[in-house]
Amino acid sequence: MPARPTMKDVARQAGVSTMTVSRVVNGEPGVMPETAARVHRAIRSLGYQRDDVARQLRRKGQLTQTVGILLDNVADPFMASLASAVEDVARQQGSVVLIGSSRDDPVREREVVSAFTSRRIDGLILIPVAGSHRFLRNAVATGTRVVCADRSATGLKTDAVVVDNRGSANRAIAHLIAHGHRRIAYLGDRLDIWTIEERYAGYLTALAYAGIPADPAIVRHGLRLADDATAAMTGMLAEADPPTAVLASNGIVGLGVRAALPAGTALVSFDDFLLAAQLDPPVTVIAQDPVAMGSTAAHLLFSRIHGDSSPPRTVVLPTRLVARGSGEISGPY
Amino acid sequence: MPARPTMKDVARQAGVSTMTVSRVVNGEPGVMPETAARVHRAIRSLGYQRDDVARQLRRKGQLTQTVGILLDNVADPFMASLASAVEDVARQQGSVVLIGSSRDDPVREREVVSAFTSRRIDGLILIPVAGSHRFLRNAVATGTRVVCADRSATGLKTDAVVVDNRGSANRAIAHLIAHGHRRIAYLGDRLDIWTIEERYAGYLTALAYAGIPADPAIVRHGLRLADDATAAMTGMLAEADPPTAVLASNGIVGLGVRAALPAGTALVSFDDFLLAAQLDPPVTVIAQDPVAMGSTAAHLLFSRIHGDSSPPRTVVLPTRLVARGSGEISGPY
DNA sequence: TTGAAAGCGCTAACAG
DNA sequence: CTGTTAGCGCTTTCAA
């Protein structure tokens, strides 16, 4: 395996100093066209490419043009869209993106953050897992900008881009109640996830506001997979006094619930999903815009990287309740 | 903003040399526990973290523990699952992952590859866009390992992990013919994408084998979005002698076709998608396993990185024809 | 317009 | 067990 050629190799071949090569490689002015051409020829003939690892070392205080994005799970469509939007903005800004999945594991999250910061990323888009993020303070203090997306972090004041989860859940329940439902189940993911907690709180608030007592018999937490949700729903339907409507805390749960849902039972799910409209009956969803979220978070991150040091901001993006008539239109009877 | 502390800072604070700090930081043996403790204390008090950018520079010939993955579009569920599997393997191997989207643009692909290789990635998982990949030769010659996934590259001999696209399409058409269909449409993405070309070839072969003449009136290429596919399908149905069955070249197209499909018309689509089974009628699919593909490609990549220099291999993963009875069971009449 | 010298933060190689 | 020296590939600074 031939070693990667260096500026020295190019300099020797072109009969100039490494400084001249450096100037040519970086398009700096003050090199005779004649000389530059000789250097370019040597570059091509050797297949030289600038080593940015070495470059970054010398250019201290400069940016590495690398940002990180750490999310739950790249395979989740919501996260994937968000990541894609972040990547687009990063590319526009001339940066590359390191990606990592925490899989909701705080240990893994710390490890990945550490692997990222030891590579001197300029900034981090973080979808924080449950638990404290005080460990990020060092990183922030030494210049790594952090913007949270989807969820906000605890123990650390950062910029964040979120939606009004509580209000959205509240509106969804109000919508069901307006259509005559009073026995409304909640099926959800782990309650220690910030967004999930907020959504559940919205569910409770809306019931309380309507004077409907919350019934633990039709509430399930901790559903991670679609199959978990299907099983939970099936179990709930077998009990006495089953619900006439269901709120699903997120897309995965919604999907799982849908598979067990009897005709006529209403379903409102957080997160729009492909095909939700093609199902019969279609599923009513609380749609978020992951692209807007990723793009907003990325723009915020780069404005920080470029020197914006105003106080941390939380941007709240709107959601849309897409009423598709999953049974709630005709009412429970 | 306080500057990031260096080994020198730690050494001064602990009253030792930087070499001793280096040994402690890297967990090397031969440091008195007493001394190590002093160093650790200094590290904590300063919030020191090793700078891997500098480290990689000195440890030449060593790995940067960074791999790249360059795909079409992170937001595509198939690609997202593949990327997620790659990330899992990379993490196991102690590497981080740079991610980039080519969006089917060869210029963008080259730019991203260049940004990656200038950061001295150890290896690259590539989902190649159409066109020649000869430009990667330099990178390969100087030590960057490349493994293609999903599609193989032209103009460059690399490892690749693919499925038998042609054979799978062939089997799907044979399946439809066996159920009595003779007027079978093909709706597909851009024909210059390797997988799509193969699938279309399989479609033609199967028809020819059955003695059914191919009819350009029921063939459409270049469908990029679901809406394109819906429009194409709608148009086709309005013409004389519409098809009784359809082959969709990929999930996006399948989704779009499904939206315009009259009851009783059969649909077989490449790529399984969430909810395909919950639709009524459900969609028959040619299911690939993106996780297996990503994981296989990543393992192959790391075996290369760790010195395997046997001739390039192409691994062909199986597909599954999941017959869900989208109208083909009952036949065309 | 070009080059020489120094040094970024770290570690290999050797010396004590 | 610990330290010194040199140098990774590049860019900054200064001199020619």
pLDDT value of position B330: 55
Query: In the A/B pair of chains, how many CB contacts fall below 8 A?
Result: 160
Other CB atoms within a 10 A radius of the CB of residue A295 amount to: 18
Q: Taking CB atoms and an 8 Å limit, are A53 and B1 in contact across chains? A: no
Q: Do B7-50 and B165-288+321-328 share a fold? A: no
Helix (H) or strand (E) holding B220: strand B219-220
Q: Taking CB atoms and an 8 Å limit, are B52 and A3 in contact across chains? A: no
Nearest to A96 by CA among A128, A122, A118, A114: A122
Q: What is the mean pLDDT of residues A15-38?
A: 93
| Mean pLDDT score of chain A | 92
Q: Taking CB atoms and an 8 Å limit, are B49 and A255 in contact across chains? A: no
Residue ranges in chain B modelled with pLDDT below 70: 1-2, 61, 275, 326-333
pLDDT score of A332 more than 70: no
Domains of chain B: which residue ranges?
Answer: 7-50, 66-163+290-317, 165-288+321-328
Q: Which of residues 55-84 of B touch strand D (CB under 7 A)?
A: 57-58, 60
Question: For residues A140 and A326, which has the higher predicted lDDT (pLDDT)?
Answer: A140
Omega prior to A243 cis, within 30 of 0? no
pLDDT value of position B1: 66
Distance from CA of A135 to the nearest CA of B (A): 10
Pick the CATH number of A7-50 from 3.90.110.10, 1.10.260.40, 1.10.10.10, 3.40.50.720: 1.10.260.40
User: Which whole-number Å values give the CA distances from A73 to A66, A83, B81, B249, in the listed order?
Assistant: 20, 10, 9, 27
Residue nearest to nucleotide D6 (CA to C1'): B58
Say how many Å lie between the first and final Cα of chain B, rounded. Answer: 75
pLDDT score of A279 more than 90: no
Other CB atoms within a 10 A radius of the CB of residue B192 amount to: 13
Which amino acid, B276? A
Are the C-beta atoms of residues A129 and A106 closer than 8 Å to each other?
yes
pLDDT value of position A329: 58
Are the C-beta atoms of residues B196 and B250 closer than 8 Å to each other?
yes
Q: What is the pLDDT of residues A246-266, one digit of tens each?
A: 999 999 899 899 989 888 899
Are the C-beta atoms of residues B273 and B255 closer than 8 Å to each other?
yes
What 3-state DSSP class applies to B240? coil
User: Which whole-number Å values give the CA distances from A21 to A8, A34, A45, in the listed order?
Assistant: 8, 13, 14
pLDDT value of position B331: 47
B66-71 vs A320-322, strand pairing mode: unpaired
Distance from CA of A192 to the nearest CA of B (A): 24
Q: Taking CB atoms and an 8 Å limit, are B74 and A56 in contact across chains? A: no
Percentage of chain A lying above the pLDDT 70 cut:
96
pLDDT value of position A200: 98
User: The whole model's pTM is what?
Assistant: 0.92
Nearest to A50 by CA among B181, B115, B128, B316: B115
Among candidates B2, B53, B97 on the partner chain, residue whose Cβ is nearest the Cβ of A98: B97
Q: What is the pLDDT of residues A194-230, one digit of tens each?
A: 999 999 999 999 999 999 999 999 999 999 999 999 9
| Cβ burial, residue B90 (10 Å; 0-12/13-18/19+) | buried
Q: Cα-Cα-Cα-Cα dihedral of B115, B121, B123, B129, to 10°?
A: -10
Residues of A within 8 A of B275 (CB-CB) are 255, 258, 273-275, 279
For residue B218, how far is the Cα from the chain centroid? 30
Pick the CATH number of B165-288+321-328 from 3.40.50.10860, 3.40.50.1820, 3.40.50.2300, 3.30.565.60: 3.40.50.2300
pLDDT value of position A328: 60
Tell me the fold of A66-163+290-317: Rossmann fold (3.40.50)
Nearest to A122 by CA among A170, A199, A59, A41: A59
